[in-house]
Structure 1
Amino acid sequence: MRPGTRILLVEDDPAITSFVEPELERRNLSVRCAYDGREALAQVEGFRPELVVLDIMLPKLDGVGVLTGIRRSGNRVPVIMLTARDTTLDKVHSLDHGADDYLTKPFDIEELVARMGALLRRVEGEEVLRVGDLEVNTATREVRRGERGIDLTQREYELLEFMAKNPRRVLSRDLLLSRVWEQEFGIPTNVVDVYIGYLRKKVDAEGEPKLIHTVRGAGYALKEK
């Protein structure tokens, strides 16, 4: 799993959170804990986790209620249900409501980590482009750099997505114009420079390592130094 991956652990048993949280942090994951269902939904919106480990038996709102709320909002974040229940009916019920996996307590931390990794690999391979700490989610068209969300216009997003699909590659102005602007004729090549300038202001904030690089006489590249 990529260092810094955001994990939300939803569990009201402090004995479990006090064990699982440091184990995940030791693997360089960014972990937040929620101790009831209402708090979990707030954390999903605010923290924007990349994976949720969700207990079924929770105060205020149970895990299935949390899962239902997540899916109704259109959020497809992977969710592993974590519970003491071990009946087929409970498993089917959770999966029917949109869970991606199910692990019964007591569990081995290595098995949990392995299941988390498998889910993240599946989702990342399909949807998320990464260059350094920049993330471009091609399914939701959301862009983040570290903990910071980045708001882009449609054209800015299309330009950044194409560059993220070709990391480290030097992309000429003509190539970017033909791929991003496609059939729009009569557009001068300097429009690429203008939009690169827009992206730089949003992607490369002050104090952050630059990801958008100018290759003199050749074009632009999206890469870590």
Structure 2
Amino acid sequence: MRLLLAEDEIELSNALVAILKHNNYSVDAVYNGQDALDYLEAENYDGVILDIMMPKVDGLTVLKQLRTQGNNIPVLMLTAKSEIDDRVLGLDSGADDYLTKPFAMKELLARIRAMTRRQGDVSDMIINFENITLNRLTFELSSPKGSFRLANKEFQILEMLMINPNHLISTDRFLEKIWGYDSDAEISVVWVYISYLRKKLTALDAKVQIKASRNIGYSLEAVL
């Protein structure tokens, strides 16, 4: 799952990015509202964390522009203000939830899970294909033989493959979606994580395989 974090406090932003990545989220960080709008226009995200007080364009203005454009992406507002009027204004402007600083990281993670889950059916938290199951809450890959808790990039790659079974996903798409379009990661890093996943699928006696199309990308297909 890919998130955009718009927070102008650099130290807090760095801490949040580290924690979110540790919990298997892919995160792009920006430090003002205008960059948030630019990133949201150029990229696809599953959710946004917006600080209210930001330079150039404040978080509420970003939110209002998104909703005016018909963009219903889940939005969690962060604010140092505790007055109820600020909370009401954020919710009335289209925010899905809010969190007042300072906050516990466990609560932030719970709020993110809740707001993104509301976007789809709860059953979407479990993805099945052939004899394997991927739990999007626990990041666990399982089969009748056993289970593995996947690491960050492993989980995100397999999630993309299982959402789109039998469809070719280009290596560039993996890099863009998981590492971010401004990342300096090499194409070969995708192959490394595909290799990790193949070993786990083999260990689980999975009835699926990650098929490579040379110089193009990968697809998840049933083993005939």
- TM-score per shorter chain, which class? 0.5 to 0.7
In the alignment of these two chains, the number of paired residues is 153
1:127-172 deviation line (CA, Å, top 9, x unaligned): 9796741557xxxxxx9964669xxxxxxxxxxxxxxxxxxxxxxx
CA distance in 2, matches of 1:89, 1:205: 56
- Specify the alignment match of 1:19 in structure 2: 15
Instruction: Give 1:210's match in structure 2, choosing from 196, 219, 222.
Output: 219
> What SS does structure 2 have at the residue aligned with 1:210?
strand
Q: What displacement does 1:49 show?
A: 1.4
Letter in structure 2 aligned against 1:119: M
Q: Secondary structure at the match of 1:94?
A: helix
Please report the TM-score for the alignment, with normalisation by the length of structure 2.
0.59
Name the residue aligned to 1:64. Answer: 60
Structure with more contact order per residue of length (Cα contacts < 8 Å, sep ≥ 6)? 2
2:84 aligns to what? 88
Q: With structure 1 as the length reference, what TM-score do the two structures score?
A: 0.59
Q: Greater Rg, structure 1 or structure 2?
A: 1
Shift of 1:43: 1.0
- Identity among equivalent pairs (%): 38
**Following the alignment from structure 2 to structure 1, what is the Cα–Cα distance between the partners of residues 64 and 51?**
13
Seen in structure 2, the aligned counterparts of structure 1 residues 128 and 48 have a Cα distance that, compared at 3 Å, is: farther
SS in structure 2 at match of 1:102: strand
Show the 5 A alignment for 1:130-145: 132=158, 133-134=160-161, 135=163
Cα separation, 1, equivalents of 2:62 and 2:44: 14
Counterpart of 2:93 (choices 84, 91, 97) is 97
Q: Which runs of 5+ in 1 are unaligned?
A: 137-142, 150-203, 216-225
Shift of the 207–109 alpha-carbon distance from structure 1 to 2, 3 Å rule, reads same
Consecutive unaligned residues in structure 2, runs of 5 or more? 130-157, 178-212
1:159 paired residue number: none
Summarize deviations over 1:48-72 as a string: whole Å, max 9, x none.
2111110000101110100011112
Q: After alignment, is 67-76 or 79-88 more displaced?
A: 67-76
Structure 1 pair 34–106 and aligned structure 2 pair: CA distance change class (3 A): same
Equivalent-residue separation in structure 1 for 2:175 and 2:113 (angstroms): 21
